[in-house]
Amino acid sequence: MKLEINDFRSLITVINVALIMFFGLSFAWLGLIVAGLGMVKDVTVDNKCNGLIMHSANVMLNIYFLMMMKG
Cα–Cα separations (whole angstroms), residue 35 to 29, 40, 45, 63, 71: 10, 9, 15, 11, 23
CA–CA separation, 52 and 58 (whole Å): 10
Q: What is the DSSP letter of 42?
A: I
Q: Specify the amino acid at residue 56.
A: S
Kindly report the pTM of this predicted structure: 0.82
* Cβ-contact 4, 13 below 8 angstroms: no
pLDDT, one tens digit per residue, over 12-54 is 889 999 999 999 999 999 999 999 998 998 899 988 888 899 8
